[in-house]
């Protein structure tokens, strides 16, 4: 019977949810956004009469474009569940979508940040089981990122991974299949977007949305100043006149806007290096720091980490998919990775 049991790996991120099916790869890659219609107060028997209108890509299209009765938001905050009921509904939607017509309940493995508490772990497991999983496992993101990046985590050698997502940067030193030193800081891609939006508002009196700020970060942003700058015309609403206006922004201005947040992120890497035993620290100098996660793809990110730590940093292959790929590999070899699995139900 067990061979009939389907398996799903879920990279449950603050900004995106990736679902990995062993043998097929990533089958779903959608924003972790849910659009909720606020009903009449106390109506409908649901929490405040709230009704879920859309989930994922459809819900993201509604962000900043809905009327007052529909709110599009993220039920995950800083990599953990902020709204349990909505997260459960979101997981149910993604599990159902990935499974299709399969009548069997799947074994689900979900990623969680390195600094997750036991209560937060339980919340993820319960949400997955209620959403239709037969059994749910949770594994810390740096372990999955390392597995997905092809790092031999079971060797008696120190390996360092910095997984930079939307909500958190998870940094860990891994040896013999376990985490030796780690930290999880709630400063990553989303905070960079917010810093850009704040800068544009303060310096140019222009109000821009999260989507525009993210576009600026991706198209012209850099972790360190560069000589050949890129520019992007940025549209927004003038704070004084209230009318639409366009300003031209360059790479180094965007880099300066993100400076404080980038410092906080590299500080997390330094903190873990300082807590690493000397023998393993020597291994890390030889092996370098592996960067994974969507936000690690910011221009010159490895260079910034190298400048702040003195240790060479390398971008993993397909850094955005490392955690999702790691869930698939861990599911395939559950016995091998038993030590790395931190909870199960």
Span 113-127, pLDDT tens digits:
888 888 888 889 999
Least confident piece of the model among 29-43, 206-220, 250-264, 322-336: 29-43
Would you state the pLDDT for residue 271?
A: 96
Q: What is the CA radius of gyration of the chain?
A: 21
Place of tokens 């008696």: 156
Would you state the pLDDT for residue 117?
A: 85
What is the distance between the alpha carbons of residues 288 and 226, in angstroms, rounded to a whole number? Answer: 23
Is 305's pLDDT higher than 90? yes
Is 207's pLDDT higher than 90? yes
Would you state the pLDDT for residue 82?
A: 85
Please state which of the four CATH numbers 3.30.1490.20, 3.40.640.10, 3.30.420.40, 3.40.190.10 is assigned to the domain occupying 151-187+262-317.
Answer: 3.30.420.40
Q: Which two tokens stand for residue 296?
A: 């690690």
Mean pLDDT of 166-185: 93
What is the distance between the alpha carbons of residues 344 and 122, in angstroms, rounded to a whole number? Answer: 9
The continuous run of DSSP H or E covering 249 comes out as strand 244-250
Span 129-151, pLDDT tens digits:
999 999 999 999 999 999 999 99
Would you state the pLDDT for residue 49?
A: 53
**pTM, rounded to two decimals:** 0.89
Would you state the pLDDT for residue 334?
A: 80
Mean pLDDT of 93-100: 91
**Average pLDDT along the chain:** 90
Residue 343 · residue 127 · CB < 8 Å? no
* Confidence category of residue 239, pLDDT binned at 50, 70, 90: very high
* Confidence category of residue 344, pLDDT binned at 50, 70, 90: low
Is 343's pLDDT higher than 80? no
Q: Where are the domains of the chain?
A: 1-29+80-150+318-345, 33-73, 151-187+262-317, 189-259
Is 302's pLDDT higher than 50? yes
Q: Which fold has domain 1-29+80-150+318-345?
A: Nucleotidyltransferase; domain 5 (3.30.420)
Mean pLDDT of 141-164: 94
Ordered alpha helix ranges (H), the chain: 57-62, 84-99, 118-130, 141-148, 189-204, 210-219, 251-257, 259-275, 278-287, 301-309, 322-332
Apex CA 244: angle with CA 241 and CA 248, to 5°? 110
C-alpha to C-alpha distances, 301 to 218, 268, 293, 331, nearest whole angstrom: 12, 14, 12, 31
Name the CATH superfamily housing domain 189-259: ATPase, substrate binding domain, subdomain 4 (3.90.640.10)
Span 47-87, pLDDT tens digits:
445 688 899 998 888 776 767 778 888 888 877 888 888 88
* Confidence category of residue 37, pLDDT binned at 50, 70, 90: confident
Residue 273 · residue 284 · CB < 8 Å? yes
Count other Cβ atoms within 10 Å, centred on residue 104.
11
Is 1-29+80-150+318-345's fold the same as 189-259's?
Answer: no
């Amino acid at each position: 019977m067990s061979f009939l049991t389907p398996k799903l790996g879920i990279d449950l991120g603050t900004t995106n949810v990736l679902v990995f099916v062993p043998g097929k790869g990533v089958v779903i890659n959608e924003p972790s956004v849910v659009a909720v219609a606020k009903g009449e107060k106390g109506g409908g028997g649901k929490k405040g009469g709230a009704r879920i209108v859309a989930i994922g890509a459809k819900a993201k299209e509604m962000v900043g474009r809905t009327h007052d009765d529909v709110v599009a938001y993220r039920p995950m905050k800083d990599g953990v569940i902020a709204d349990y009921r909505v997260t459960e509904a979101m997981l149910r939607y993604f599990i159902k979508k990935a499974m299709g017509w399969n009548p069997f309940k799947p074994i689900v493995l979900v990623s969680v940040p390195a600094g997750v508490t036991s209560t937060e772990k339980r919340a993820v497991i319960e949400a997955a089981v209620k959403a239709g999983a037969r059994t749910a496992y949770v594994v810390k993101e740096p372990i999955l990122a390392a597995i997905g990046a092809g790092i031999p985590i079971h060797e008696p050698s120190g390996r360092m991974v910095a997984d930079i997502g939307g909500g958190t940067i998870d940094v860990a030193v891994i040896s013999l299949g376990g985490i030796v030193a780690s930290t999880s800081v709630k400063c990553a891609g989303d905070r960079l977007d917010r810093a850009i939006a704040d800068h544009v508002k303060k310096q140019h009196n222009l109000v821009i949305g999260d989507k525009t700020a993210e576009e600026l970060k991706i198209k012209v942003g850099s972790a360190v100043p560069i000589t050949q700058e890129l520019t992007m015309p940025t549209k927004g609403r003038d704070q004084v006149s209230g009318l639409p206006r366009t300003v031209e922004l360059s790479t180094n201005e965007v880099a300066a806007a993100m400076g404080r947040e980038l410092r906080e992120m590299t500080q997390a890497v330094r903190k873990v290096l300082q807590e690493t035993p000397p023998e393993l620290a020597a291994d890390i100098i030889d092996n370098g720091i592996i960067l994974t996660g969507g936000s690690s793809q910011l221009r010159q990110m490895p260079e910034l980490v190298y400048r702040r730590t003195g240790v060479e940093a390398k971008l993993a292959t397909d850094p955005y998919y490392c955690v999702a790929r790691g869930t698939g590999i861990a599911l395939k070899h559950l016995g091998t990775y038993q030590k790395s699995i931190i909870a199960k139900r």
